Structure 1
Amino acid sequence: MENPRYGGTLTMVGAGDVDFLDPALAYHTVTRGIIRAYTRQLVTYRSSLDRAAVAMIVPDLATAADGPDADGRRYRFTLKDDVCWDAPTRIRPITAHDVVRGIKRLAHPLAPSPGLPYFLSSIEGLSEFRDRVAAVGDDPATIADALETTGVAGLRAEDERTVTFTTIRPIPDFLNILALPFATPAPVEYLRGVPGTAAQEQRVISCGPYRVAGYHPGETIALTRSAAWTPGSDDIRAAYVDEIVVRQGLDEDKCFALVMSGEADMLWDIQPPTDRLQGLFATGDPRLEVFPAGLFSPYLVINMWSANAGGALARPKVRQALQFAVDKAEVSRVWGGPRLNDIADQLLPPLCTAHRPFAPYATGGGRGDPERARLLLGEAGYPEGLTLKLVFRDRDIHPETAEVVREALARAGITAELVPASIGELFGSYLASPRAAREGRWDIALTGWEPDWHGHNGRVYLQALFDSSAASGDEGWGTNFGHYRSARTDQLIAGALSSSDQDLADELFRSAEAEIMQDAAVVPILFAHQYWLHASRVRGWLPYPVLNGDLTNLWLDGTDDREGYHL
């Protein structure tokens, strides 16, 4: 085995940008690819080729996880002595108060975290805290005071180094929730700004091995070594490279050529063009890394609120027609074929412990059944078909995906008007915008879902994408982008989340999955594998629950063979 080398600049190339650098809001795949480099949590995961190892929780900022207690609800964490902030004024220790502030900040009323539902359904008193803070108004200074001074019953800094959590009920996957980047501590400086604002994005403070040295939206992101991080405080991240630089705004072919020639080290937010994959497979090119990862991607979100076509999508038979209309095999081809994906006819992938084969709308070879789709449309009152707006990401393989979906829908009598959008627009202007949903700016959307953790992760798919128990009016929908609401589904998910028996929880998750599919809330299309392209000099690439692997544990062979890209 090669000995890892220290030094050099890892250069990544791509088309688009992060959603946010702030860990309270960051959720897009590309952001998750770099956030491990400048954030740390109480607990985390190791990167590994061993899937069981990747699913195991290990200490990070904390010395160990003490809990749960005999009642299954209380957890106690003691911070390591030498974990510090790389703050603008001075290096200083991370405290238990910073851990508490990081959780409370997820409920900021002007910018609630997309991960907030995980925490609201877990930590005692956090929902009440959210409501009290929301009641103070919309002045950022007043909100900052409320965030800092309002207590949470189940969240307490016992002293500078000890923090305790009390959960609403026994929650078997609570440590998985605390391992999410959302649970990153927040320094006191963050109280001055509103999460997600341009000013706050330029004030990200590191507690990991790297710091954000420069961020020019849509152009470059540069991470350099943090002066506050010490190897002795972190046995998870080796931090071999000196810098990580992301170059943005490049087209897909240019990015591919740069990596293949060695002028850049890794793709950023795109994947190898479909027409190049077979050549990489044919030669067994080691620069292409493939690892099954339980990605529910792509799938078709259905906007339940759209009034277009006479409110057609509120009718179950129209949504069922969509299930039969999509040619999943053709989408699979666009996404690299059977080596890189499996056709999905359900929500929970094989890597989830709750998975059992289940295919209520299966068609031969995944090719779809346009005649059955037309029949269902007729029964729903649309014998002549209907027109829907299909929004999709405008880069990488997504335009071709949208085109093959459009062609399949046309065979079933559904006209799809294509609405291309940047990744920021897709989520910010369409999927996460209740107003856009109500105004019918989109009807169906192509997107994907990356699991937040592996193994016992039924909630990662079902609670995140379909739970409506915290929703009221336009608020509280989180990543339930289609605004699907079902009291029965919410009840089943709640039962699974409250069960200390993991087998029973998985059974309840399967029942919820069946309910959602009966309602045809989304159209599953593929379970995609994790795959990424890097240059020959990249060594030690290991899977981590993000698409581009663990940047903190890879190294560069022959780091002096070219000049790195610098800002």
Structure 2
Amino acid sequence: MNTRKVTSALALCLAMALGVSACGGSGGSKASGKKDQALTSIVNASTKKGGTVTADHSSGPDSLDPGNTYYGWVQDFSRLYARTLLTFKPAAGKAGLTVVPDLATGLGTSSPDAKTWTYHLRTGVKFQDGTPVTSKDVKYAIERSNFAPEVMSNGPVYFKSYLADDASYQGPYKDKSANGLASIETPDNQTIVFHLSKPFADFDYLATFSQTAPVEQSKDTGATYVQHIQSTGPYKFASYSEGKGATLVRNPEWSKATDPIRTALPDKYVLKFNINQRTIDNDLMANNLTVDLQGTGVEAETQSKILGNKNQLSHTDDAIAGATSYMALNLHVAPFDNIECRKAVQYAVDKTSVVNAEGGAVKGDVASTLLPPSVNGYTKFDEYPTAGNNGDVAKAKAALAACGKPNGFTTTLTARSDRQPEVDGATAIQAALKKVGITVNIKTFPSDKYFSNYAGVPDYVHSHDVGMMMMAWGADWPTGYGFLDQIVDGGAIKPSGGNNLMELNDPKINQALASAISNTDAAARTKAWGDIDKMVMQNASVVPLIYRKNLLYRPSSATNVTVTQAYLGMYDFLLMGSSK
């Protein structure tokens, strides 16, 4: 399958098997498909090489460096230039949740106790400069991304948390020894072995992260590596401009013979950052743009236009994002160090008004749990029920009295300035809390700096009395652990770029997470995730708001369009092409 040339006839068979709406083997159908068709099939299928994919974003990435990112859309998009040990299968529907080999020849081989994991790399894979990729390059990539927070601050630290000798290792920029991290062995150029301090049953999911994309140590310049990323995928950077955009072109050192996953049909990708969301929406509807990189759907004004137009509606997919929008209450900012004050907010928030402010039912359903229904381990419950999800003033005031603030208090709520629905949701919360005497001052910041400079920086949060923060989170991988760990485990609290915005560090929750992921019994793990979700909600530091959906728009020139649940219900950038 690695080297087979796809013929038009074969493409037709594949298309029929996947249930796609049209085959464009000779060049990209103009058919737009039907509403929600890309949720389970491939729309506007094509096998034609060529064309330019144009992609805009209302803000920009935290970083396009595969080792320094935590944004879902970057994880999705980076697969075009950064191959990882494993990845999610580029396919329609549930098949897109399947983990498949990428750089590796197969899935990981685990010891019986799930503490040792071994992968074997394909031969013949090269960097864009022609240098062969080795297991040492994968090891170095993990060392720089997980053990150098002074340089790589944005990504998760799962490897650091689970590798056996993380305590003494200072990262490759400080530790100049030839051996590096002892818990990752590279006995030969094609083998990499991970030795963990404790069992980790989900390790194959971790191997899909962009942090396992190899990096040549001789080419690494730390924080500025993003300016000259060395590609291992079918595309390389022709240009990159911070805050403005990037252009990717074909990488001549990539070979289909070593890559059974990527079709690499487009000739070029042109990315633009900091484009007004309304402009992006209008360009999509005018067929002047291939895709919105952010993947969170059109804004409210555009949505209202689309919902009243049958033709425009046929271009949309109301994708379940596998994500929850919530408000984090910081446990170290008064008065939220008092659980009764946190409960007051739980009861005061009018969740129905938040859903309506953010776009109504098409944008999602009222949430009562942190885990969304689409994630393994979800259990339906509500610790703070109110009639019609409209808030309960009496219960909120009783909680305020219990926390010693009968007349309310003043606090700050942050939101992302380029995500208007999130700002609108914050405004709805502000109005609801005013009814019980809580004054909310809203501060907004751009998405690309939200975690690295503001909400994800404890020093900033504490010094500016930021008690509440708008947040949206999707699973790092589709299990309860993949959803919960980085937002509720105390070990995930970081000096900057953090996602545990509550700064929740409850020993019982930490231990429950560690015990569950160590359990090789899948059914027991699944039950544990729901139990941990209840523990978090009983702490009252998270106010669930919306189980998110995103109204995505696919223009008629976009080909091979399908939604991937592996990347938060956005379009699969690895498959998408353009007839232009």
What TM-score comes out, normalization by structure 1 length? 0.88
1:504 has 2:520 as partner: no
- The aligned counterpart of 2:303 is 277
With over 3 angstroms needed to count, the CA separation of the structure-2 counterparts of 1:281 and 1:232, relative to structure 1, is: farther
Looking at structure 2, the residues matched to 258 and 167 of structure 1 have their Cα atoms a distance apart, in angstroms, of: 48
Q: How many angstroms apart in 2 are the aligned matches of 1:261 and 1:477? A: 36
**Residue in 2 aligned with 1:99?**
138
SS of the residue aligned with 2:159? helix
Deviation string for 1:67-97 (max 9, x for gaps)? 11344333322211221111xxx31211011
**CA distance in 1: counterparts of 2:113 and 2:504, whole angstroms:** 34
Query: What does residue 132 of structure 1 align with?
Result: 169
Counterpart-to-counterpart distance in 1, 2:544 and 2:422: 16
Partner of 2:36: none
Matches within 5 A, 1:43-122: 43-51=86-94, 53-86=95-128, 90-105=129-144, 106-112=146-152, 114-122=154-162
Secondary structure of 1:91's aligned partner = coil
The answer for the alignment partner of 2:411 in structure 1 is 388
- 2:484 is matched with 462
What are the superposed Cα offsets for residues 141-195 of structure 1, whole Å, 9 maximum, x if unpaired? Answer: 6x1624x533323x1111111112233343221100111112222212344x22x
Instruction: Provide the rounded CA distance (Å) in 1 between the counterparts of 2:112 and 2:539.
Output: 40
- Structure 1: which amino acid aligns with 2:180? T
The alignment covers a number of residue pairs equal to 530
Match of 1:290 in 2: 318
Correspondence 1:528-543 to 2 at 5 A: 528-543=548-563
Give me the whole-angstrom Cα distance separating, in 2, the residues matched to 1:511 and 1:548.
29
Tell me which residue corresponds to 2:176: 145
Calculate percent identity across the aligned residue pairs.
24
1:23 paired residue number: 66
Matched letter for residue 542 of structure 1: T
Structure 1 CA distance, aligned partners of 2:215 and 2:154? 17
User: How big is the alpha-carbon RMSD for the aligned residues of Structure 1 and Structure 2?
Assistant: 2.2
Match of 2:364 in 1: 341
CA distance in 2, matches of 1:66, 1:266: 34
Report if the CA contact (8 A) 1:430-1:442 is conserved.
Answer: no
Alpha-carbon distance, 1:291 to partner: 2.4
* Alpha-carbon distance in structure 2 between the residues aligned to 1:480 and 1:470: 6
The CA deviation string for residues 19-75 of structure 1, in whole angstroms up to 9 with x for no partner, is 111111111234234212111111111133322x22221100111125113443333
Q: Distance in 1 between matches of 2:96 and 2:154?
A: 24
SS class of match (1:102): helix
Alpha carbons 2:492, 2:500 under 8 Å: kept: no
Determine the structure 2 residue equivalent to 1:239: 264
SS at structure 2 position matched to 1:280: helix
Q: Contact 1:295–1:530 (CA<8 Å) still a contact in 2?
A: no
Aligned residue number for residue 219 of structure 1: 244
Match of 1:553 in 2: 575
* Runs of 4 or more consecutive aligned structure 1 residues displaced over 6 Å after TM superposition: none
Tell me, yes or no, if the aligned pair for 2:486 and 2:492 is still in contact at 8 Å.
no
Gaps of 5+ in 1: 135-139, 560-567
The offset of 1:421, in angstroms, is: 0.8
1:536–1:164 Cα change, 3 Å: same
Matched to 1:32, the amino acid is Q
How many Å apart are 1:263 and its aligned residue? 1.6
TM-fit CA distance, 1:266? 1.8
CA contact (8 A) 1:271 1:532 kept: yes
Report which stretch shifted further, 220-229 or 316-325: 220-229
Aligned to 2:286: 261
Q: How many angstroms does 1:264 deviate by?
A: 1.6
* Aligned partner (choices 348, 355, 363) of residue 378 of structure 2: 355
| Alignment CA distance shift 1:530-1:228 (3 Å) | farther
Give the residue type in structure 1 aligned to 2:571.
G
- Render the CA deviation track for 1:328-377: whole Å, top value 9, x for unaligned: 11221233322331211111111122111111112223222233212211
Code of the aligned partner of 2:170: V
Q: CA deviation at 1:462?
A: 2.0
Amino acid at match of 1:491: Q
Aligned to 2:463: 439
> 1:381, CA displacement in angstroms?
0.9
- Aligned residue in 1 for 2:391: 368
Decide which moves more: 320-329 or 525-534. Answer: 525-534
2:513 to 482, 486, 493: 493
Q: 1:9 aligns with which of 52, 56, 71?
A: 52
The match for 1:36 among 61, 76, 79 is 79
How far 1:116 sits from its partner (Å)? 4.3
Range 363-372 or range 276-285, more displaced: 276-285
Q: Displacement of 1:279 after TM fit?
A: 4.0
Which one is further off, 338-347 or 110-119? 110-119
Where does residue 542 of structure 2 map in the other structure? Answer: 522
Partner residue, 2:277:
252
Residue 563 of structure 1 is matched in structure 2 by none
Q: How far apart, in 1, do the equivalents of 2:357 and 2:98 lie?
A: 33
What is the distance in 1 between the residues matched to 2:275 and 2:97?
Answer: 34
CA distance in 2, matches of 1:202, 1:466: 33
Residue 28 (structure 2) aligns with = none
Query: One-letter code of the match for 1:520?
Result: A
- Taking the aligned partners of 1:435 and 1:528, their CA distance within structure 2 comes to 30
Q: What does residue 166 of structure 1 align with?
A: 195
Corresponding letter in the other structure for 1:512: I
Change (3 A) 1:357 1:341: same
Contact 2:62 2:71 in 1 (8 A): yes
